[in-house]
């Protein structure tokens, strides 16, 4: 398949067995709905995994978290508290096991992989970093398109191959995180373009910028949307004009994982921007997405509402890296375990309270 023809065939999940699944959940030894979001999560997982009989069990196999890293031309304008060099330094930190995402993945049982999608300077002679570079950082989006349209397809093709490797290894749940100084600017621009919102409703303080820097960030993103307004003809064009190399590959990975009927765990603001684009490309993707948390970034709740998503956690996180997605894994496993293992009223000889 040529890169210009990358497309994804994503089937909707079936809700034909919803009544059976819901009855199994309802007859557990608890009041109706007493496990809250874990119940709707168990229903979603059962749909994705094709449960057809009450005795069918759910499972999480080889859960894997991918961190996509890339640099952004707009960062040179000072829209973050940190310079672009920090992206590379953090990628090294991931490879050496010292970041928050490493700690959390070790704690909860996620396998972690780090993908260099296009940081300014590659990390040499360090094991554990996968090279899927699309360039040395994007163009500054307020001055030019972030990348060429065929670069988006190249990124999608790379992401599909990456997901296929994990699918072949038996992985059935994959989570996504990111690292890239300036990427909240790209995500906010994508959000404004996809959701047709004013930039002021989308732009937040990212890593903790002050009011002056926030005003600069807002102005540059408004310039970017004005510059590209006639080119934003579809979701791939939005990525090409406004995105980042890591956001492109994350979008492609979301599409590829849904194509393979894997559960897809979405982290925070930047990962949700990628999910916005993926759902715009293929609406059936939404069936496979689990939203880990509501981040502290200003526009994230609005994004989640747009996607009709109820996040599992709300911890005030704004770190990125996939940290919220990692912390959600025990809750996902809890939904699977109660569905598989919790006694029904008849099993336990208890009079039903439903």
**Residues carrying an active site annotation:** 321
Look-up of token digits 């930047």: 270
286 sits in which H/E element: none
**Residue 173 Cα distances to 57, 77, 216, 238, 261, angstroms:** 15, 38, 39, 27, 9
Neighbours of 275 (CB within 10 A): 25
CA distances from 295 to 48, 100, 178, 181, 325 (A): 26, 16, 14, 17, 11
Is residue 35 a contact partner of residue 334, using CB atoms and an 8 Å limit?
Answer: no
* Radius of gyration from C-alpha coordinates of the chain: 20
Burial of 34 (0-12, 13-18, 19+ CB in 10 A): exposed
Is residue 325 within 8 Å of residue 266, measured between CB atoms?
A: yes
- The backbone torsions φ and ψ at residue 264, rounded to the nearest 5 degrees and listed phi first, read -125, 120
Sign of CA pseudo-dihedral 45, 47, 49, 52: positive
| Phi, psi values for residue 175, rounded to 5° | -120, 155
d(CA 190, CA 212): 22
Q: What is the DSSP letter of 320?
A: -
Cβ atoms of residues 281 and 9 within 8 Å: no
Instruction: Work out the burial of residue 241: count CB atoms within 10 Å of its CB; fewer than 13 is exposed, 13-18 middle, 19 or more buried.
Output: buried
């Amino acid at each position: 398949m040529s890169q210009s023809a990358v497309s994804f065939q994503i089937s909707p999940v079936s809700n034909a067995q919803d009544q059976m699944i819901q009855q199994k959940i309802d007859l557990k030894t608890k009041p109706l709905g007493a496990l809250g979001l874990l119940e709707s999560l168990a229903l979603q997982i059962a749909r994705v995994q094709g449960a057809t009989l009450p005795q069918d069990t759910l499972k999480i196999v080889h859960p894997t978290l991918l961190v996509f890293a890339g640099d952004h031309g707009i960062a040179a304008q000072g829209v973050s508290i940190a310079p672009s060099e920090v992206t590379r330094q953090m990628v090294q930190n991931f490879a050496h096991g010292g970041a928050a995402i490493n700690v959390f993945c070790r704690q909860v049982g996620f396998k972690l992989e780090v993908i260099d999608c296009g940081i300014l300077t590659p990390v040499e002679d360090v094991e554990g970093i996968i090279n899927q570079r699309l360039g040395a950082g994007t163009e500054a989006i307020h001055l030019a398109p972030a990348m060429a349209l065929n670069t988006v397809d190249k990124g999608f093709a790379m992401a599909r191959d990456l997901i296929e490797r994990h699918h072949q290894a038996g992985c059935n749940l994959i989570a996504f995180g990111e690292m890239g100084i300036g990427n909240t600017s790209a995500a906010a621009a994508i959000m404004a373009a996809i959701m047709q919102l004013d930039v002021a409703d989308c732009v937040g303080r990212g890593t903790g910028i002050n009011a002056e820097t926030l005003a600069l960030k807002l102005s540059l993103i408004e310039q970017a949307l004005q510059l590209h307004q006639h080119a934003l003809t579809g979701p791939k064009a939005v990525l090409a004009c406004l995105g980042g190399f890591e956001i492109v590959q994350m979008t492609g990975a979301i599409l590829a994982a849904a194509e393979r009927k894997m559960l897809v765990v979405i982290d925070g603001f930047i990962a949700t921007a990628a999910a916005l684009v993926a759902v715009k490309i293929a609406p059936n993707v939404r069936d496979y997405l689990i939203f880990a948390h509501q981040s502290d970034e200003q526009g994230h709740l609005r994004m989640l509402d747009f996607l009709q998503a109820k996040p599992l956690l709300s911890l005030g996180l704004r770190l990125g890296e996939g940290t919220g997605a990692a912390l959600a894994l025990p809750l996902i496993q809890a939904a699977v375990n109660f569905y598989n293992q919790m006694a029904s009223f008849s099993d336990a000889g208890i009079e039903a309270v439903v």
